[in-house]
Amino acid sequence: MGRLIAISNRTAADPKARAGGLAVAVWESLKETGGSWFGWSGTLVDEPPRGANVFRDEGVEFVLTDLTHEEHEKYYLNYANRVIWPVFHYRLDLAAFNSEAFKVYSDVNQRIAGIVADRLQPGDTVWVHDYHFLLMGNALRHAGWEGPTGFFLHIPFPPPEMFRAIPEHHWLARAMCAYDVIGFQSSHDRANFVRYLVEQFDGEELGDDLIRVFGTTTRVAAYPIGIDPNGFRDAASTPQADRAAERISRFLGERHLVIGVDRMDYSKGLPQRFEAVGQLFDAHPEMDGKVSVTQIAPPSRSKVEEYQELRIELDRLAGRINGDHGDLDWIPLRYLARSYSREELAGLFRIARVGLVTPLRDGMNLVAKEFIMAQPEEDPGVLVLSEFAGAAEQLRDALIVNPHDKFKVAEAIYQALTMPLEERQTRWRKLRDVVESQDISWWRNRFLKDLKPAE
Ligand code: GDG
């Protein structure tokens, strides 16, 4: 294969950003093939930028463009994060449809496609990531690029009934089919998209994941993303991890740790999770003083109104639960609205008895996989996992719950806290085998193997 060209809104140009799953996966692939990574620089400017900021790091070329304030407002904050994000997470009620924002979204896709197309060479393979760039494949075709072009959606794809609520759904779908390969996190997301193409545009399933629609053939398949399992296991035994584990142990004493780590986002089901924790202590007073639930929730997109409301709701719920159940020497639910390093998180996961991953909707959820890899084999913790996370398709030996059902989630936490060692080990070994075998390289290799023109 020739050069790999990655396009994503945020890149790993900043070495500190190379810790997350996507950043590591793309970064490693680009280093192997000597490729380029196009995206937003993170800088906002008043005037439309001319050209891009180009630099190299470890053999990888970064080509970054600034966004204007207007582009940031309409393309990023409005269309990507207040139309596509909520609808794709089944939250029509939170969508702020806006045709002007769609126009700017489309313009930014085209502008960046122009920057990319100018630098593409025959033999290159283009891999576009995520919901900011649904239109990028089509824009590249218009700019004259004919080589292999694939797209991976990191977030869920909604049922057709919801997708059709987006006024521009037909434009989005038509443009998406300009990609040679469209990858989803789960078979469920794939099925939603295929059903949309079949019902709306008489798409024809040709077998082998190929769909014929809009006069072209596109591969539509599920490629569940993985993590770097050894990297995360190693992170859990660094001095930084030990220090974090030690610090929280001082606070825990003999108590069991139940941990959650999520970006503060309404898709992650945090209010429902807090309610379930309250229910746990209501239903099992014998757990009083024996368990400490710690939720780490770094704020994200704090300029968007719905995120500000979520923050207020979490403050309120945590205050109520601690007011109802806490005692002079015990805080049942600690909620920390800040971020920690990857090593610190790994250290906290390592000593947790229960990992709570209960999103209302999630493309995959990498935290579930990271939690597994940080567990010690001799005394592993238990994963409580939402059936609505993409990860639930793979991690069948977790305790799978409906995150809307606070009674069942509370019982699953209780079951996890009281589970005999032997059962914890049996479940954990099976989960570890999945996370290890279906890792980040497996994901990347499967996608790139398919990333050739479908005909
Ligand atoms: C999207 C999709 C899909 C979290 N807090 C801190 C921190 N994290 C790290 C986690 C994990 C990553 O961020 C979060 O990944 P998730 O998969 O859980 O969720 P999203 O951010 O919503 O990601 C998701 C993913 O893309 C990949 O395709 O799985 O469904 O929504 O790695 O550990 N990292 C550090 N400090 C924190 O405080 N360093």
CA atoms within 13 A on the CB side of 276: 29
Q: Which residues are catalytic?
A: 154, 362
Ligand 1, residues 356, 364, 370: which to mutate, most atoms within 8 A of Cβ? Answer: 364
Please say if the pLDDT value at position 452 is more than 80: no
Q: Cα separation of 332 and 322, whole Å? A: 6
Global pTM reads 0.96
Ligand 1, residues 90, 130, 307, 366: which to mutate, most atoms within 8 A of Cβ? Answer: 366
Tell me which residue has its CA closest to atom 20 in ligand 1: 365
How sure is the predictor about 25, in pLDDT bands with cuts at 50, 70 and 90?
Answer: confident
**Closest of 234, 263, 233, 257 to residue 245, by C-alpha:** 257
How sure is the predictor about 454, in pLDDT bands with cuts at 50, 70 and 90?
Answer: very low
Q: Measuring from each residue's beta carbon to the nearest atom of ligand 1, which residues come in under 6 Å?
A: 19-22, 154-155, 225, 261, 263, 296, 298, 339-342, 345, 362-367, 370
How sure is the predictor about 21, in pLDDT bands with cuts at 50, 70 and 90?
Answer: low
Ligand 1, residues 130, 240, 367, 440: which to mutate, most atoms within 8 A of Cβ? Answer: 367
Among 20-29, 165-174, 257-266, 358-367, the minimum mean pLDDT is found in 20-29
Tell me which residue has its CA closest to atom 10 in ligand 1: 367
Ligand 1 nearest atom to the CA of residue 300, by list position: 21
Please say if the pLDDT value at position 20 is more than 70: no
**Closest of 289, 293, 389, 364 to residue 330, by C-alpha:** 289
Ligand 1 nearest atom to the CA of residue 370, by list position: 33
Ligand 1 nearest atom to the CA of residue 296, by list position: 38
Cβ-count burial 177-214 (b if 16+ within 10 Å, e if not): bbbbbbbbbbebbbebbbebbeeeeebeeeeebebbbb
Tell me which residue has its CA closest to atom 1 in ligand 1: 154
The amino acid that residue 369 corresponds to is K
Please say if the pLDDT value at position 364 is more than 60: yes
